[in-house]
Amino acid sequence: MRTKVAIIGAGPAGLLLGQLLHAYGVDNVILERQTPEYVLGRIRAGLLEEGTVALLEKVAAAGRLHQEGLIHHGIELAFDGARHRIDMHATTGKTVTIYGQTEVTLDLMNARKAAGLTSIYSAAEVKPHDFDTDHPRVTYVKDGVAHEIQCDFIAGCDGFHGVSRASVPASALKTYERVYPFGWLGILSETPPVSPELIYSNHERGFALCTMRSTKRSRYYVQCPLDDHVDQWSDQRFWDELRRRVDQKAADEMVIGPSIEKSIAPLRSFVAEPMRFGRMFLAGDASHIVPPTGAKGLNLAASDVHYLSQAFREFYDDKSSAGIDGYSARALARVWKAVRFSWWMTSMLHRFPDEGDFAARIQIAELNYLVSSQAASTSLSENYVGLPF
C-alpha cells in the first residue's frame, strides 16, 4: 500500500490529523493497535478549548458537540471552606466546552468512515522504518499477515507508550520529566453534577475535582497515593472522601450513586524534544504529557496536529518545506506554556506528601491572591481557556 502520510495511532491526535489532511486533499492511512471499541472505552479528557472546537468544526465533526456540549464561562476554586468563582469569560471573552474525549473520538471516527478513508484497527507490531530517508515505510501485522505501507511522511500519534518515539535513537532525543508523588482516582456516575461549573478544591486531605460529562452524568476525581488500587476504593469510600474535600454546600448537595467507571491515573509532566526526526513527526501524548489539572492534554494534541497538517499542506500545495522545518519549534513553544500552566495548577492545588504546613499556607495565600486580583485571575483564565494557536 502507498499513501502520503501514514498515521500511527487512532486517538484524538491521529484521527483529527487524518481529517485535517483529508480537508487539505492529502491522503492518509491510520494504523491503530487496539479495536475501535477499546479506544472508545477509555474515559479521559472532558474539556475543550475554543481552538479545539474550531478544528472539529473545520473537519465537519462538531455537529453533535454543538448540540450536546456544555459551554462554561467560569470555574470555581474551593479552599479554606469557601468557594470562589473565576469568571473566565468576563476577562478573556472566551469559554470552554465540556464534551468527553470518547465523544470527540466517536465523532471523528464517524467522519473518517463517511469520508471513506482507510483505518486499520487491531494492527500488531506496527513499526516505522527509514524515516531518515526520503522513502519512509511502516510495517505491521494484521490477522497474522505482514504488511507494509510506503509513504512520504510518518505521523507518530501513538500516545505516551507508543512505538514512534521509542523508534528514535536515544541520542537524538532530549527528555524533560517531573513525576508527581500522587495520582487521581476518578469515577463516572449517572448522577447530576453537584454544580453547573467545575469545582477545583484544595483541601488538607488532598485535591478534589468536580466535573461532568452532561447535565445527567458526573465525573469526580480525588488525589490519592500512587500505590493505591481501585479495589481499595469502594463507591462509598470514594463519595465519603470527596464530600470531605469540598465545601459544606457542595457536600450537602452532592447526589451520589453507583460508579460506572473507576480508575487511577498517575500524574506526570513530560516533554521529548524535538518533535521531528527526518520524515517522522510526533504529535500529542507521543511527545508530551501534562498532569490533567489544567485540562490541556487533548487540547495540545489538537494544536500539534493543526500545525502539522498546515505544514503538510504547505509541502504539497506550495512546494515549501518551511512548515515541516518549523513544526517542532512552533509546536514546542505552545507545549511548554501548557506544561508550565499544568505544573502550576497542580502545584497550587495538591497536597505534596513531603512538604509541610509552610507549603500549604503558601498555596492558600496564592489562591486568595488569585480570587482577589483581576490581574492574577485574568492570567489563570487566559491559560485555562487556551492560548491562541
H runs (alpha helix) in 225-356: 235-244, 248-253, 297-317, 322-349
Which region, judged by CB under 6 A, interacts with ligand RFL, from 58-66, 80-88, 155-163, 376-384? 155-163
196 catalytic? Reply is no
H runs (alpha helix) in 205-281: 235-244, 248-253
Catalytic residue among 99, 291, 292, 306: 292
Q: How many residues bind ligand RFL (CB under 6 A)?
A: 36
CA atoms within 13 A on the CB side of 116: 0
Site pattern 246..285 for ligand PHB (x: CB under 6 A): ----------------------------------------
Q: How far is the CB of 258 from ligand RFL (least distance, A)?
A: 20
316 catalytic? Reply is no
Q: How far is the CB of 272 from ligand RFL (least distance, A)?
A: 13
Nearest partner of 301 among 194, 190, 389, 200, judged by Cα: 389
DSSP sequence for 172-192: G-EEEEEEEEEEEEEEEESS-
CB nearer ligand RFL, residue 54 or residue 265:
265
CB nearer ligand RFL, residue 36 or residue 326:
36
Q: Report 192-231 residues binding ligand RFL (CB under 6 A).
A: none
The residue number with the shortest CB distance to ligand PHB is 46
Angle, to 10 degrees, between the axis of helix 297-317 and the axis of helix 322-349?
170
Catalytic residue among 296, 306, 307, 327: 296
Tell whether residue 211 is a contact of ligand PHB (CB under 6 A).
yes
Tell whether residue 292 is a contact of ligand PHB (CB under 6 A).
yes
Tell whether residue 295 is a contact of ligand PHB (CB under 6 A).
yes
296 catalytic? Reply is yes
Catalytic residue among 12, 22, 72, 307: 72
Cβ atoms of residues 224 and 208 within 8 Å: no
CB nearer ligand RFL, residue 292 or residue 323:
292
Rounded CA-CA distance 370/242 in Å is 24
Q: Report 218-237 residues binding ligand PHB (CB under 6 A).
A: 219
Q: Which does 31 bind (CB under 5 to 8 A by kind): ligand RFL, ligand PHB, none?
A: ligand RFL
Give 236: exposed, middle or buried? Use CB within 10 Å, 0-12, 13-18, 19+.
exposed
Task: Give strand ranges (E) for the chain.
Answer: 5-8, 28-31, 47-48, 70-72, 74-79, 82-87, 96-98, 118-120, 124-129, 137-142, 145-150, 153-156, 174-189, 199-201, 208-212, 218-224, 259-273, 276-277, 280-282, 288-289
Cell of 75: 470555574
Q: List C-alpha distances in Å: 57 to 16, 50, 278.
A: 11, 10, 31
Cβ atoms of residues 328 and 274 within 8 Å: yes
Tell whether residue 65 is a contact of ligand PHB (CB under 6 A).
no
Tell whether residue 69 is a contact of ligand PHB (CB under 6 A).
no
384 catalytic? Reply is yes
Tell whether residue 202 is a contact of ligand PHB (CB under 6 A).
no
Rounded CA-CA distance 185/57 in Å is 32
CB nearer ligand PHB, residue 202 or residue 211:
211
Chain-centre distance for alpha carbon 20: 18
Q: Which does 299 bind (CB under 5 to 8 A by kind): ligand PHB, ligand RFL, none?
A: ligand RFL
Nearest partner of 293 among 262, 269, 323, judged by Cα: 269
Catalytic residue among 99, 200, 221, 307: 200
Task: Rule CB under 6 A: choose which of 79, 182, 184, 277 binds ligand RFL.
Answer: 184
Tell whether residue 11 is a contact of ligand RFL (CB under 6 A).
yes
Which region, judged by CB under 6 A, interacts with ligand PHB, from 44-52, 151-159, 189-197, 249-257? 44-52
41 CB-near residues (< 8 Å, 6+ apart): 102
Q: In what order do the strands lie in the sheet with 218-224?
A: 82-87, 74-79, 199-201, 208-212, 218-224, 174-189, 259-273, 288-289
Residues with a known catalytic role = 72, 200, 292, 296, 384
The binding site for ligand RFL (CB under 6 A) comprises 8-14, 31-34, 39, 44-47, 101, 123, 126, 157-159, 162-163, 184, 186, 265, 284-285, 292, 295-299, 301
Residues near ligand PHB, by CB under 6 A: 45-47, 198, 211, 219, 292-293, 295
